[in-house]
């Protein structure tokens, strides 16, 4: 079997029109194309060949009572995943990351209560109006997200914890580290400095001096 170069699928937004009072949106998804390696080795420029089953498409429709949407998806042998958001958002609003579901502490969650007691013993505030979050489970899930390089999820986990414990130095430092991984240097510095004001950490101080250079 000859090896192939596979070019990823891209999506093409065809625009929106209004045939009634409800907005109508139509999307067409460009299929994956495959080029035989043998043709590339010969220096030829072959025409892309769709990795699908001819011109067949599947039309998906969605009507939530406010917006009617159609998506035409070519039938591909490689498969694809399409996600559509209907809710209108301001153009300058940043795309929201995934929403993590963090468990509340259980009675047997001794690690959480150790962390919580240490936090409260420093006189730091707890926002009791925010959902309860297990500090120990949040730490585990944060570590998993960072290891998987899912930094958007990691940041969302940190934010969930800080909603309940806004002055938690460990998670403020974690927020700074995740923001650095996301390329947000100024915001990372701000988070590090906030953590340092609450609880000084020599390693964070070294990092701050490094970032200031």
Q: For 60-104, how does the pLDDT look when each residue is reduced to its tens digit (9 = 90+)?
A: 776 666 666 776 766 665 555 555 555 555 444 455 555 788 899
Q: What's the whole-number mean pLDDT along residues 104-128?
A: 95
On whether both 115 and 198 belong to a single domain, the answer is yes
Position 213 scores a pLDDT of 77
Q: Is residue 131 part of a domain?
A: yes
Domain containing 69 equals 4-76
Give yes or no for residue 139 having a pLDDT over 80: yes
Give, as one character, the DSSP assignment of residue 19: S
Q: Using the 3D structure, point to which of 59, 76, 93 is the last residue of a domain.
A: 76
On whether both 203 and 117 belong to a single domain, the answer is yes
On whether both 48 and 131 belong to a single domain, the answer is no
Position 190 scores a pLDDT of 95
Residue 39 Cα distances to 33, 51, 88, 101, 111, angstroms: 14, 16, 46, 49, 60
Provide the b/e sequence for 47-70 (b: ≥16 CB within 10 Å): eeebbbeeeebeeeeeeeeebbbe
φ, ψ of residue 32 to 5 degrees: the values are: -65, 145
Q: pLDDT band for 9, please (50, 70, 90 cuts).
A: very low
Which residues partner with 69 through β-bridges?
25, 62
Q: What's the whole-number mean pLDDT along residues 150-179?
A: 95
On whether both 138 and 48 belong to a single domain, the answer is no
Q: pLDDT band for 168, please (50, 70, 90 cuts).
A: very high
Position 23 scores a pLDDT of 54
Q: Using the 3D structure, point to which of 61, 76, 91 is the last residue of a domain.
A: 76
- How high is the mean pLDDT of the chain? 75
Q: Is residue 51 part of a domain?
A: yes
Our count of domains for the chain comes to 2
Indicate the angle between helix axes 135-147 and 169-181, nearest 10 degrees: 20
Residues found in the chain: 213
Alpha helices for 130-183 (secondary structure H) = 135-147, 151-164, 169-181
Q: Give the residue among 176, 162, 181 at the shortest CA–CA distance from 204.
A: 176
Q: Are 71 and 27 in contact (CB under 8 A)?
A: yes
Is pLDDT larger for residue 180 or for residue 69? Answer: 180
Q: Is residue 183 part of a domain?
A: yes
Q: What is the pTM of this model?
A: 0.56
Q: Using the 3D structure, point to which of 76, 98, 124 is the last residue of a domain.
A: 76
**Least confident window among 47-56, 129-138, 169-178:** 47-56
Looking only at the bridges linking them, the beta strands covering 52-63 and 68-76 are: antiparallel
Percent of the chain's residues with pLDDT above 90 = 50
Copy the structure tokens of residue 191.
């988070």
């Amino acid at each position: 079997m000859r090896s192939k170069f596979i070019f990823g699928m891209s999506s093409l937004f065809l625009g929106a029109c209004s045939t009634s009072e409800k907005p109508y949106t139509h999307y067409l998804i460009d299929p994956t194309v495959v080029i035989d390696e043998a043709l590339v080795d010969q220096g030829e420029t072959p025409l892309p060949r769709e990795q699908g089953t001819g011109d067949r498409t599947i039309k998906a429709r969605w009507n939530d009572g406010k917006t009617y949407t159609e998506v035409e998806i070519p039938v591909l042998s490689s498969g694809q995943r399409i996600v559509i958001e209907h809710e209108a958002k301001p153009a300058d609003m940043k795309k929201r990351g995934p929403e993590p579901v963090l468990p509340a502490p259980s009675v047997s969650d001794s690690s959480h209560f150790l962390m919580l007691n240490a936090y409260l013993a420093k006189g730091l505030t707890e926002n009791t109006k925010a959902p309860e979050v297990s500090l120990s489970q949040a730490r585990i899930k944060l570590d998993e997200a960072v290891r998987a390089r899912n930094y958007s999820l990691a940041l969302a986990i940190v934010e969930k914890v800080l909603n309940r414990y806004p002055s938690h130095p460990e998670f403020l430092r974690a927020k700074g580290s995740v923001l650095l991984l996301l390329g947000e240097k100024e915001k990372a510095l701000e988070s590090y400095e906030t953590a340092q004001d609450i609880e000084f950490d020599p390693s964070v101080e070294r990092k701050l001096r490094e970032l200031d250079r």
